[in-house]
Amino acid sequence: MTSIPQPVFIVGSWRSGTTITAKLLNHLPGVCVAKETGFITESLRLLKQVPSAQALTPLLAQVNSWLQTNGWTGRVTIEGFRAFCERSGIEGPRAFLYYVWTLDCEQPLQELRFVGDNTPLYVLAIPQLLELLPDARFIHVVRDPRDVVCSTLNLRFGAHDALVAAMEWNTCLGSWLMAERYLDAGVFTSFRYEDLCSTPAAVLQQLAEFLECPDGAAEAALQHQMQTPGESSVFSKVAESDHHRNLSNPLSAARVGRYRQALTAKQIRDIEVTARSGMLAYGYQPDAEGLHPLATEDRSRILQAMIRDVLRRLRFRIRGR
């Protein structure tokens, strides 16, 4: 039986920096963070039934559909899964997740200490993830909601209205803050995306210590990233997509504060009054004055924003974006 790596999830809101974090962590020894695997929350019932043949057939179909859509090279098969279980000595839902996570991994399972993925919205399902993997660790990335919204608007996923996008950021942050109250000490860590951009060495050292890497591993990983930011890796296909075009660019403080040029004054105000408490909790200073719409029972404002958001999403779907 091979040694069994520990699962790790990188979570946060949309566009918070989980993918660049995963790419950096893959330069650390014994760490393999796969691309996003959003099927876990969609297929939770089927995963709990693994290795039942009745569950595997529909599960494989769901997973392969996701892998194809998100640029994975590998595909899952019943034969491949059974062979993985035999090689690794792992069974059940853990075996299936590890099987998927290592499809595009260049390192053998027995050389890994941590394996996982960087699906940001798993932050909304941490209790369910712990049911599947009680020993899971979590890395939380938080980013200024104004830049998150700026980066999310006009993409094929996420909200298409600033107020709705800010509410989604609030929900993700609230889920994380609640998780911090029931997760055991030592199984989670959190950092700001802005700090990763401005002081990457300090943040990567924090993460290397969290993943129990040897001395010098963080410095070597950062040097590797800086010298070959666009090298081929499990994320090379991801970097080809429009919304990840900065993945191969060096970390820089220039990534911070883009909302000032890209958003209107009204959009910024909508974000700040909606996400004020979360912003203050993480050191982001809102400029606009005002109360959350629910604080003033202004539900019509939220309803209007949600209708605008749905209509814009429909337009994007119709255009095939």
Q: Where are the domains of the chain?
A: 6-35+104-255
User: Which CATH superfamily is 6-35+104-255 part of?
Assistant: P-loop containing nucleotide triphosphate hydrolases (3.40.50.300)
| Count of all residues that appear for the chain in the document | 321
CA 248 to chain centre: 17
pLDDT of residue 69: 84
174-188 pLDDT, tens digit per residue, is: 999 999 999 999 999
Of 82, 79, 111, 77, which is closest to residue 95 (Cα–Cα)?
Answer: 82
Residue 165: CB atoms within 10 Å: 30
- Residue 40, pLDDT > 90, answer yes
pLDDT of residue 2: 54
pTM higher than 0.85: yes
Residue 284: CB atoms within 10 Å: 19
pLDDT of residue 239: 45
Q: What tokens does 159 get?
A: 């909200």
- Residue 159, pLDDT > 60, answer yes
Cα–Cα dist 174/169, whole Å: 8
205-223 pLDDT, tens digit per residue, is: 999 999 999 999 999 988 8
Are the C-beta atoms of 24 and 222 separated by less than 8 Å? yes
